[in-house]
């Protein structure tokens, strides 16, 4: 017994510093977990999937795919709510207790990455370099955010770091080959970008002339089998689901669109926002847009510079096997997303896809700062000031009321305004008001934010008293700023299963009311939101057909533009004439994805949509009618009644 106690004491004494660093990182992440509210709908989507899981025999149900990514995050949330029930947190407010319940396992798992980084660098670069590396990760705002909220990148980095550790050990110990296969499978189930590690491992074995020896080991084939078994449910979902995420990602990865700053923005994104007049164009490359994912803050710019300098400095030490391995991992991921960054604004990767490169970058940065600590006095002082700054910066990051650590108010104001527009189109006026209020804190002169915030208040959103004078009254209410004007909100809808009768109306001669009344599938929708979503429609199976009919009144005969969003194939007829057809829609659910030129005659016009479901989670559609130049047309009306009945009235 005393021998065991002595071993524990010896271990704690030997690793006391890294345990203090781990405690610091864990504290920062737990504080963030309890203090920050979720920013986007991502956490809600993950949580709703986790709630679908049931281990009770009568209602047994498992999830095999997550929200746009594999399903490991879903099970982390489910297990967290089981291990850390809300009853454990009765001393906290109810909302905070709920966040703690479903986030805490993620916090613990991601915080443990600090120890994995330490172990990865300990036996190869020395204890001091390992300690500095673990400290840099502990105070990294990028990693703190991934750990405190439900974001799939956090578990990805944990299992990626574990995979790198096991693979490096497997070069001298065959039993770690099996563990590499298992950890790599779990990394993939966090996010698909873990597949890069498999390619990196094969390339490294090939370049170091070890591949042939590995092909003679039974452990290699067992590891491949373990990896394949773990990822098989997700592969099954992707290959059996029309328009799956994997098909989209492979399509993006296979397109060369020119050099971009996508990967660099992960490290220097904060600096870009100081100097770039058009941040989207800069990051996407010349002439290429890019969605700047503000909900995922980039690395602190000081740490980012240190990482990139450390990588360049490590090139001169590439004869060290471990340094060469770290450089291989960094270069493969970093330069892939620099060269194959897809065009935006919707068909792109985001900079956090290159997040695996941060593991070798931080380890090499730890090695560089460790050498500075052993150098002259000025270098030691500079290193000490860097550690102090990064610690203070991490605390300051947690003190922000937003999850976003961006200093450009105009960018933030536009971002929140755009986000509010999506909320308005979906009829969520309360969430739209929250985002518009944020937009006005950054850009108080925004007329679009003021006008639409007043509209949200009129539609039941809870108003903040101090903002009422800012948004109310006068000449600022310019109708062209209202987000949901021009959208058709009254429809008659009917749905048929795949192969069922759609009455042969594919030629466009569709008198909607009569057919749907006869079939018994009539549903009249008078929606307050612009997007007719699965909340209003029964989400059909892949290939099922949905017809939507409405009558549109035009004050005079004129050409118009129809702006369509449809999660699936779509056809449109105006007064029996087909004006648009596409076989497959986009899985990303954004309004006004497609524009169609048409003609409305004076008086009432019949507008018919034929939608073919591709099994999207958010089945729905929206249609907006504008003039040819995109302006809203005054006097346009619509009713979910057939033209003949309206004419009789």
pLDDT at 15 over 70: yes
Give the pLDDT score at 128: 93
Give the pLDDT score at 493: 81
- In the chain, what percentage of residues exceed pLDDT 70? 76
- In the chain, what percentage of residues exceed pLDDT 90? 28
Residue-wise pLDDT for 391-433, tens only, equals 998 888 887 655 444 556 777 787 788 888 888 888 888 888 8
Give the pLDDT score at 130: 94
| Of 571, 620, 575, 625, residue with least CA distance to 597 | 625
Task: Measure the CA–CA gap between 43 and 257, rounded to whole angstroms.
Answer: 32
pLDDT band at 615 (very low <50, low <70, confident <90, very high): low
Give the pLDDT score at 533: 74
pLDDT at 495 over 80: no
Angle between helices 262-275 and 301-314 (to 10 degrees): 140
pLDDT at 35 over 80: yes
Give the pLDDT score at 202: 93
pLDDT at 595 over 50: yes
* Mean confidence (pLDDT) of the chain: 80
Give the pLDDT score at 277: 53
Residue-wise pLDDT for 269-328, tens only, equals 777 766 655 555 444 444 444 444 555 678 888 999 999 999 999 999 888 899 999 999
Which has the minimum average pLDDT: 110-119, 250-259, 446-455? Answer: 250-259
Higher pLDDT, 9 or 627: 627
| Of 547, 539, 512, 502, residue with least CA distance to 620 | 539
CB 173 within 8 A of CB 207: no
Give the pLDDT score at 322: 93
Residue-wise pLDDT for 162-215, tens only, equals 999 999 999 999 989 999 999 999 999 998 889 999 999 999 999 888 888 899
pLDDT band at 245 (very low <50, low <70, confident <90, very high): low
DSSP 287: T
In this prediction, residues 563-583 reach a mean pLDDT of: 84
pLDDT at 497 over 80: no
Which has the minimum average pLDDT: 114-128, 198-212, 446-460? Answer: 446-460
Task: Measure the CA–CA gap between 391 and 546, rounded to whole angstroms.
Answer: 56
pLDDT at 499 over 70: no
Beta bridge mates, 546: 495, 611
Give the pLDDT score at 221: 94
pLDDT band at 352 (very low <50, low <70, confident <90, very high): confident
Give the pLDDT score at 306: 96
Task: Measure the CA–CA gap between 42 and 222, rounded to whole angstroms.
Answer: 36
Task: State the CB neighbour count (10 A cutoff) for residue 386.
Answer: 18
Q: What are residue 490's phi and psi, to 5 degrees?
A: -120, 125
pLDDT at 112 over 90: yes
Give the pLDDT score at 518: 43
Higher pLDDT, 561 or 592: 561
Give the pLDDT score at 289: 43
N-terminal to C-terminal alpha carbon distance within the chain: 94
């Amino acid at each position: 017994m005393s021998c065991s106690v002595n071993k524990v004491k010896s271990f704690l004494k030997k690793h006391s510093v890294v345990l203090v660093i781990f405690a610091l990182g864990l504290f920062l992440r737990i504080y963030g977990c309890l203090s920050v509210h979720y920013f986007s709908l991502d956490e809600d989507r993950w949580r709703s999937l986790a709630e679908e899981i049931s281990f009770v025999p009568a209602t047994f149900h498992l999830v095999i795919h997550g929200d746009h990514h594999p399903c490991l995050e879903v099970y982390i949330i489910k297990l967290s709510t089981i291990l850390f029930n809300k009853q454990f947190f009765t001393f906290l407010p109810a909302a905070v207790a709920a966040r703690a319940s479903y986030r805490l396992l993620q916090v613990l798992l991601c915080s443990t990455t600090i120890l994995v980084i330490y172990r990865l660098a300990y036996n190869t670069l020395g204890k001091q370099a390992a300690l500095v590396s673990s400290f840099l990760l502990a105070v990294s705002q990028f990693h703190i955010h991934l750990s405190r909220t439900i974001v799939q990148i956090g578990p990805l980095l944990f299992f990626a770091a574990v995979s790198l550790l096991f693979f490096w050990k497997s070069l001298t110990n065959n039993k770690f080959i099996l563990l590499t296969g298992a950890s790599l499978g779990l990394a993939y189930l966090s996010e698909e970008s873990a597949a890069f590690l498999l390619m990196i491992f094969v390339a490294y074995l090939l370049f170091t002339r070890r591949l042939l020896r590995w092909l003679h080991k039974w452990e290699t084939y067992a590891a491949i089998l373990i990896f394949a078994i773990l990822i098989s449910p997700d592969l099954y979902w992707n290959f059996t689901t029309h328009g799956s995420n994997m098909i989209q990602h492979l399509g993006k990865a296979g397109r060369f669109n020119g050099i971009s700053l996508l990967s660099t923005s992960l490290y220097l994104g904060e600096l870009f926002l100081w100097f770039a007049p058009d941040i989207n164009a800069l990051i996407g490359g010349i002439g290429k847009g890019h969605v700047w994912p503000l909900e995922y803050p980039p690395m602190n710019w000081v740490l980012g510079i240190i990482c990139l300098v450390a990588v360049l400095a490590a090139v001169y030490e590439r004869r060290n096997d471990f340094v060469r391995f770290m450089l291989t991992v960094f270069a493969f991921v970093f330069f892939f997303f620099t060269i194959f960054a897809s065009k935006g604004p919707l068909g792109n990767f985001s900079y956090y896809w290159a997040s695996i490169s941060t593991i070798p970058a931080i380890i090499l940065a730890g090695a560089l700062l460790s050498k500075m600590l052993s150098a002259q006095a000025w270098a030691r002082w500079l290193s000490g000031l860097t550690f102090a700054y990064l610690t203070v910066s991490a605390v300051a990051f947690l003190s922000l009321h937003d999850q976003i650590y961006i200093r450009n108010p105009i960018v933030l104001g536009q971002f929140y305004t755009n986000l509010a527009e999506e909320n308005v189109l979906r009829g969520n006026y309360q969430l739209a008001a929250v985002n518009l209020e944020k937009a006005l804190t950054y850009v108080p002169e925004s007329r679009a934010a003021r006008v639409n915030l007043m509209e949200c208040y009129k539609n039941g959103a809870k108003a903040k008293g101090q903002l009422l004078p800012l948004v109310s009254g006068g000449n600022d209410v310019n109708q062209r700023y209202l987000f949901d004007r021009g959208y058709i909100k009254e429809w008659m809808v009917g749905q048929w299963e795949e192969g069922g009768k759609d009455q042969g109306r594919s030629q466009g001669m569709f008198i909607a009311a009569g057919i749907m009344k006869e079939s018994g599938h009539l549903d009249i929708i008078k929606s307050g939101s612009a997007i007719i979503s699965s909340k209003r429609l029964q989400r059909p199976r892949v290939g099922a057909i949905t017809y939507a009919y409405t009558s549109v009144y035009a004050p005079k005969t004129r050409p118009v533009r129809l702006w369509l969003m449809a999660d699936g194939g779509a056809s449109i007829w105006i007064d029996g004439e087909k004006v648009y057809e596409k076989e497959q829609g986009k899985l990303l659910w954004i309004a006004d994805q497609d524009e169609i030129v048409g003609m409305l005659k004076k008086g009432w016009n019949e507008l018919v949509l034929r939608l073919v479901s591709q099994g999207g989670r958010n089945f729905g559609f929206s249609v907006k009618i504008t003039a040819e130049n995109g302006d809203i047309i005054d006097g346009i009306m619509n009713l979910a009644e057939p033209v003949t009945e309206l004419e009789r009235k």
